[in-house]
Every structure is written in C-alpha cells, then in structure tokens.
Structure 1
Amino acid sequence: MQVLLVDDNPGDVLLMQETFEELHVGVDVLTASDGAEALATLDRGVTSGRLPDLVVLDLNMPGMNGIEVLQTVRANEDLRHLPVIIMTSTAAEEEVVEAYRSYASSFVTKPQRPGEMTEALRSLDAFWLRIAQLPKT
C-alpha cells in the first residue's frame, strides 16, 4: 500500500505520516512538498509501474497549487484513475466546488488536532485504501 502526501507544511506532513503509519503497519508513505515534486513523483511511478494507491493533496502551496496538480493528474491518461483526496485547512465553498469540478475524489477539511487527524485518516482508510486493495480486473 502506497500513499503520496503532497503538502508544503512539514508539520502537517509529519502528523499525516505518523497517523498513516499508526493505522497501517507497512504502508509506504511518499511525500512531496509542492506540486512540481508531486508530479515528478507520479511520473516516476508511471515509468516504474508503481503508482501510489492514494494521493492526499493540499490546495494552498507555492508555485503550482493543488487544483493545478489535480487538473494535470486528471488530464494524464496514466494517472487519471488515481484517487485524489483534497485535504486542506480552508474549506471555502468556491474551493470545494472547484475541487469537485476538477474531479477530486473527495474533499476533507484538514483537522487541526492530532486526534481529529487520526479520525479523518481512519475514514479515508476505511473507504479509499480498502478500494485500492480490491483485485484489479
């Protein structure tokens, strides 16, 4: 099981990494601190045949923002099938609408406390990571 976390806040990344590792023994957590790094990581995954099972993407990043990353992923035939969860600290209605218009798989407001992060990632796990484990047809 592999998850790509894309967030420019090192504290949020560390919290999410620790929470995923708590929930899953053996989960491989990749990180990218901006959109360009995320896309480079995904391109390497296409080349190697080892794409992540889930992408957790922040919206507010310097350079390429999360919506631009999402739109690039959805425009790429090799990547468009990936579940991309937007997890961001803001939840303005226009951001939610834009994320879903760009085919986000889900939109989650980033919890501010560790216990809430565990609960948010547990709910993602219960749905998206379980789907990733289903046999491919």
Structure 2
Amino acid sequence: MDKFTIICVDDQPEMLFQLAHDLAEFSDWVKIKICSDAQSAQESLEKLDQDGRYACVVLSDQNMPGQNGVDWLQSLAKDRRFRHTKKVMLSQRPTHQVFIDAINLAQVDRFFIKPWDQEELIHEVRVLLTEYVFDKGVDYEPLQQHLDQDTVRKFLRGVTF
C-alpha cells in the first residue's frame, strides 16, 4: 500500500504540520509527503513517477516564494504523467483572479480557504483519492474500506457490462 501518496506544499511550517495532522487518518494506506515549496514538490513527484508510485492528490498553497501555487499547478496540469493527479488549492486571502486562474489554468479539483474545516478537508480528500483510484484504473477492491463509498457507487454505476 506504499504506492499511494498525498503531497502537501506550503512555505509555512505550521500549515504543513496542520495538513499532516488533519490527513493522518489516511496514513495507514497513503504516504503523506510534505514540501516547503513548489520545486521540492516537483522533485518529489518526479521521484514518485520514477519509482512507479502514485501521486494521488496534491494540496498546494497559493502564496509561496519562488513559484506560486497557480503557476506550479498549471505546469502540473500540463504534464501527461500526472494527468490523473487531483489538485487542491489552499489560500488565506485569495483574490477573484486567483479563483479564476486556479480553475481555468491550473484545473484545480477543490479550493479551500485557510483555515479550512478539518472534516470537510478529510471528506474531500477521500473523494479525490477514490476518484484517482478509478481514473487511474487501480483495482479498488483491496482499498474499498478506505474509499468514499458514494464515489465508488458513482463510478460503478458508470460501468457497462
């Protein structure tokens, strides 16, 4: 089960700690990788790809030194190797333009304003992990206890025999 990874990217250590804490319930089947900037996150993605492991979900802050979240997630969205990776944007005070760019350019799947609601974050990440498993074509049955059951049913209803 060490094939699945969630990458958390934020330049504020307390935010990374909070994300790791909030996502800890996934740690029995998903590795939580924390990165302090887009460059280290990209290096982690490259290593996962080389090792044949899955970058299932990326949670990225918008305001970071070097490369901001929208720009980095936009480049990630263009990389065919990570086309199934689910993207979540985090921002404390997003502008209207950041919302538009996150959706239209970076193709984010979810957007959370800091501070986020822990239960909502956990639920949405579980849904995204489930979508990733089905989008990637991974055998879901051994993972079923970890997945969002409503999302599993949605995908199974779409299956034709």
Structural RMSD (CA): 1.8
Q: Which residue is 2:87 aligned to?
A: 84
Q: Which residue is 1:94 aligned to?
A: 97
Matches within 5 A, 1:26-45: 26=28, 27-45=30-48
> Relative contact order (alpha carbons < 8 A, sep ≥ 6): 1 or 2 greater?
1
More displaced 10-residue stretch of structure 1: 127-136 or 10-19? 127-136
Q: Which residue is 2:130 aligned to?
A: 130
**In structure 1, distance between residues paired with 2:23 and 2:111:** 18
Matches within 5 A, 1:26-65: 26=28, 27-65=30-68
In the alignment, which of 106, 112, 122 is matched to residue 108 of structure 1? 112
Q: Which amino acid aligns with 1:111?
A: P
Q: Which residue is 1:12 aligned to?
A: 15
> Equivalent pairs: percent with the same residue?
23
Confirm or deny that 1:24 pairs with 2:26. Answer: yes
Segments of structure 1 that go 5 or more residues without pairing to the other structure are none
Deviation of the 1:87 alpha carbon = 1.4
Segments of structure 2 that go 5 or more residues without pairing to the other structure are 139-161
Q: 1:77 to 1:25 in 2, by over 3 A?
A: closer
Contact kept, 8 Å, 1:111 with 1:120, in 2: the verdict is no
Deviation of the 1:91 alpha carbon = 2.6
Q: 1:79 to 1:25 in 2, by over 3 A?
A: closer
Cα deviation code 1:8-46 (max 9, x no counterpart): 11001001101111x334131001110111111111111
Q: How many correspondences in the alignment?
A: 132
Q: 1:25 to 1:73 in 2, by over 3 A?
A: closer
**In structure 2, distance between residues paired with 1:75 and 1:25:** 28
Q: TM-score, normalised by structure 1?
A: 0.86
Q: Which residue is 2:141 aligned to?
A: none
Q: TM-score, normalised by structure 2?
A: 0.74
- Report the 3-state secondary structure (helix = DSSP H, G, I; strand = E; otherwise coil) of the residue aligned with 2:81: coil
